[in-house]
Structure formats: C-alpha cells, structure tokens
Chains A and B, each alone.
Chain A
Amino acid sequence: MKTILEIKNISKIYDKTVVALSNVSFKIEYGITAITGPNGAGKTTLFNIISGTVKASSGEIRFLGKRINGYQPHKRCMAGIGRTFQIPRLFDENSLLENVAIGVMTGAKKIKENMNIDSLKKQAGEILNFIGIKENKYEIKAKKLTLAEQKMLQLATAVATKPKLMLIDELSSGMTFQDALRLSDVIKRLYDYGISFLMVEHNMELINKLAEKIIVLHEGQIVNVSEKGDNETGK
C-alpha cells in the first residue's frame, strides 16, 4: 500500500521542559487510521504539527513523499491535508452555506476552476446535503447550531477543500449515539470517494468499526500500533 503520511522522529518540547511529543514515528497508508490514548498524550499536538498550526521542535513530516515541514497551514491544506478541530472553529457570523463555500473556493483553486458565487453556493449545498445537514438550516448562522451539528459542519467545510487526507480530532465527542452512527456512515462514504482519514478518537466502538490501523499514544510516545485482524502489537 502506498504511504500517504510519514512522521519521522517528531518531538515537541514546550518551554524547554514540557515534553508533549518524543520521537514519534509512524507511517500511514491510504485508509482510515485512528490515534487514541489518554488526555494529555499529545494527540492534538501531533495533529497541530501535521496541519502546521504548531511547529515541531525536531523531526520530519512527509506527505505523499514530499517534506512539508516548512509549509504554512494554508499550503498544507492546498497540498491535500484537511482538518477539523476538537472544539469547532467555524465562522460563527456566516451562514452554513458561506462556511462551506469558503472551503469550496480552495477546492476549486486546487483544480484551477474559476467558480462564481452561484456555483460555490450550489456545491456548498451539495456537500452539506452529503454530510446530512438539512436544507432548511443552510441560511442560518453557524453559531446557532448544536455542538454535534457544528462538528458536522466543520467536517463539511474541510471536505469542501478536496483533501486527500483528513485529520479529524475527536469528532464524535459530545455526540449522541445516533449522531455518532451518522458520522461513521459519512466517514465511510467519504472514504469510498478516496479520502483517507487520520482520526483522534476516544470512542472505541467507532474506532473498531472504522479504523484499519490503531496507534496508541501515551505521554508523548507511541506505545502500541495494531492493525485490523492482527493480534500482534509492536512499536
């Protein structure tokens, strides 16, 4: 299987004393990979480093074979990395359509397509429909949504950028069982469209249902890597 993301000896040390990540290395292939571990294990820090929001103290990141350490976050998105945040980061004053249209603009730029406002709106509506948000909510402001809806909206905005790899950070937390089921179905369908996933997740049911590979982080280090149907574990 072709490697999509390669993390080599990534470390992050805050204020020269607090070690958030220590020599983390792994490769992920096209598919769905989960990262789990207790709070404070360094999962979100790792996501922030991959998406460029936080700089690693040392180490290397390769995406589709290219070293992306020096890329700014927007360039990583343009390269094909989409992400959601643990606490949704949306454009609260904008409507759902506008939120997704911002992502659609980037998606269109990637394929060098010049879309007018009407086309942006149309495609944003299609993505919202795909994600399962009802049409009667398209024009309301993002801040008026429930937490679960905000998380789904954030997934829609990131998907609109046409990513090859999606980093999803605890998307199911705060969701009801039904919402989590719906989320799992959406992820599966997006995977069928060719989007790979790296998900930070605590919901073991969701992990077992979706992930082909599970990475366990603890105190900034990988303590276990397992693959579906594989009882062997190793570093």
Chain B
Amino acid sequence: MKLLQIVTKQELKSSLIAIPVFTLILINGSGYLLTAASYGFLIAILSFGWNLTALTGEISLGHAGFFGIGAYVAVISGISGINSVLSVFIGALAAGVYGAITSLSFYRLSGVGFALASIAFSQIPKIVAENLSITGAGSGIVNIKPLFIIKSINTPLREYIMGASLLIILLIFTAFAGKKIWLKLSAIRQNRIAAEALGIATIRYKQINMLISSFIFGFVGALWTYWIGYINPDTAFDLYFSTAPLIGALFGGRNSLIGPIIGALILYLSDSAISMIFPVGHKAVYGLAILVTIMALRGGIFKAKKAII
C-alpha cells in the first residue's frame, strides 16, 4: 500500500508497461538479451541507490568506491571460507560502513565541494586495492566461484537474482519510507538551512541516506563480482559505476522513486541495442541523455509534477 502512496500515477503506468516487457525477456530471452536485461537491472539498482544520496541534494561522483569495496570484501570473505551468500552481505556492510565514515567526514560539505570529495573517497579504496597482496594488487583475483553453483553460463538464475534484488530493495525501501520522509527529504534538498530552522536534522538524514546508498552499492558490487568471476581495481572501481547510475537517475527523474530505475533501464538497454549496430562509440547514448535532460527534460522523465501530499 505504501508503494502506491508514494509512487505517482504516471510512474505506476510506466512500471506496468515495463514489468511485462522484462518478464518476457527473462522468460523467453537468451544469451545477449538476457545478459543485457540483467546488467540493466544491475545499473537500475545502482541508480536507485545513487538517488538516495541525491535525494538529500548531494551529487556524488564517487559511488564506484562503494561498489568496489563491496565486491572486494565479499570475494576476500568468500575465499577465506565464509559462506558466499553471507559474504555478499559482509561486502555490502563494509561498503555501508565506509559510506557512513565518509559521510561523517564530509558532513559539512555540500554542492561542488561534496562532489569533489566524493571522487576522492572513491579513489582511496582503489589505491588500497592496488597495493595489497590480499586483494591481488593490480592483477586482482581470478577464478571466483559463482554465487550459486551454476553449471551452465546461460542459466537465467543470475538474471533472476538481479531482478529479485531490485524488487526486494524497492519493497524494503517503500515499507519504511512514507510520505513524511519524502517531504522531509524534499525540504533538505531544496533549502538545507530552512529545513534545519524548522527542526529537521539534515545531517542525520544525509548520513542515513548515504549509509543505505553505499550499502546498496556494496551489495550489487558483491553480486557483480560473483557473476563475472574475477576482480581487479580497474574494473571494480570503474568510473562507469559512478556515472551510469547518475545519468540514469538524472534522465529518469531524481526527485521520484521509480524514475532512476526506469531511466537507467532505458539508457542501458538503448546502449546495448545501439552497440549491436555500432560496436564503437555506442556509449554516446549516455552523453546524449545528459544533453536531452539538461536542454529539454529538466527534472527527468518523471519530473514531479504532482504535489507530494
């Protein structure tokens, strides 16, 4: 019920169109289509997670750091004998703790200052990973066993895991986040000083959102590394994991709940489709999305037209 309360009718209609499309892909798809769909889900979860920080008004350019931490900690935990499913949560928790620490360190920063600091905090774990033997240094770790023993590479299990994770995260979030929190976040985002003067603990909300956001990134990073079977600093801390969710959220509408998810899915699938025709330069779709968003779609596809309450 809560989901219906905070999702606008427009968002709901689009979701109703998107759900059968993706269900069909998952049931009937194979090979490239399935992989594209599951990567789409992965970026969609990240976009949703990134947006939790953006909802407090901060633009992070360094969320790839949390993604990489989740991936590395999960793999190292798994190698040291911890159950692989449990290791995913350990990885997510480590990313969440790092998110909380960075948030505590940079709580006075906002705007450009926060964006620049976020790049710095994404680079610190990368440098650490490049220089430790436990992380395999620059060459990383290879031959990571899949999360579940998947015999065939074409099994759709991993796609279901990504899809189910997206759904579970969405349900958990909506179970706890009501309209009142939405209203407080909109206040913090628009005018932090006014929100504080009205009794809202803005720093606490920023920290909580950052913690959940980094936890989600860590969780997805852990799933991703079990999926691809190897990890190294360049791939785990790839800037793409900071920028793709950001662009997806901006394109979809960062003031809405579903917007970042739909935005990320549209962009990723467009990118994948275009890449079949133009193997080189297809990533231009993200640049185009930024241009379209800035010039014609201020507020994204799901610009909050309707009042919250």
- CB 8 Å contact bits of B186-204 with A (1 = contact, 0 = none): 1100110111111111110
Docked Cα-Cα span, A132 to B140, in Å, equals 67
Are A94 and B308 CB-contacts (below 8 A) given A53-B193, A77-B198? yes
Which of these, A82, A89, A92, A158, contacts B193 with CB under 8 Å?
A: A89
The 0/1 profile, CB within 8 Å of B marked 1, for residues 78-102 of chain A is 1000110100011111110110011
Nearest CB on A from B283, distance (A): 32
Does residue B184 face the partner (Cβ distance < 8 Å to A)?
yes
Are A94 and B190 in touch, CB under 8 angstroms? yes
Bound complex: CA of A216 vs CA of B308, how far in Å? 44
Question: Across the A-B interface, how many residue pairs have beta carbons closer than 8 Å?
Answer: 92
| A143, B180: Cα distance in complex, Å | 21
* Chain A hits for B198, CB < 8 A: 74, 77, 102-103, 106, 157-158, 160-161
A73 beta carbon closer than 8 Å to chain B: yes
Given contacts A95-B307, A157-B198, contact A117 B179 (CB under 8 A): yes
Residues of B within 8 A of A73 (CB): 193, 196-197
Give bound CA distance, A160 to B200, whole Å. Answer: 13
A88, B36: Cα distance in complex, Å? 49
Query: Taking the complex as formed, is A109 at the interface, i.e. its CB lies under 8 A from any CB of chain B?
Result: yes
- The reply to whether A98 and B194 contact each other, CB–CB distance below 8 Å, is no
* CB-CB nearest in chain B for A142: B190
* A window 127-168: CB within 8 A of B: 139, 157-158, 160-161
- Can you report 8 residue pairs joining A to B where beta carbons are below 8 Å apart? A78-B199, A89-B197, A94-B308, A97-B309, A101-B183, A102-B195, A120-B309, A161-B198
CB within 8 Å of B: which residues of A?
A: 51-53, 72-74, 77-78, 82-83, 85, 89-95, 97-98, 101-103, 105-106, 109, 117, 120-121, 139, 157-158, 160-161
Known: A102-B200, A117-B309, A139-B307. 13 other contacts (CB 8 A): A53-B193, A73-B197, A74-B196, A74-B198, A91-B186, A92-B191, A98-B309, A101-B183, A102-B183, A103-B198, A105-B199, A117-B180, A161-B198
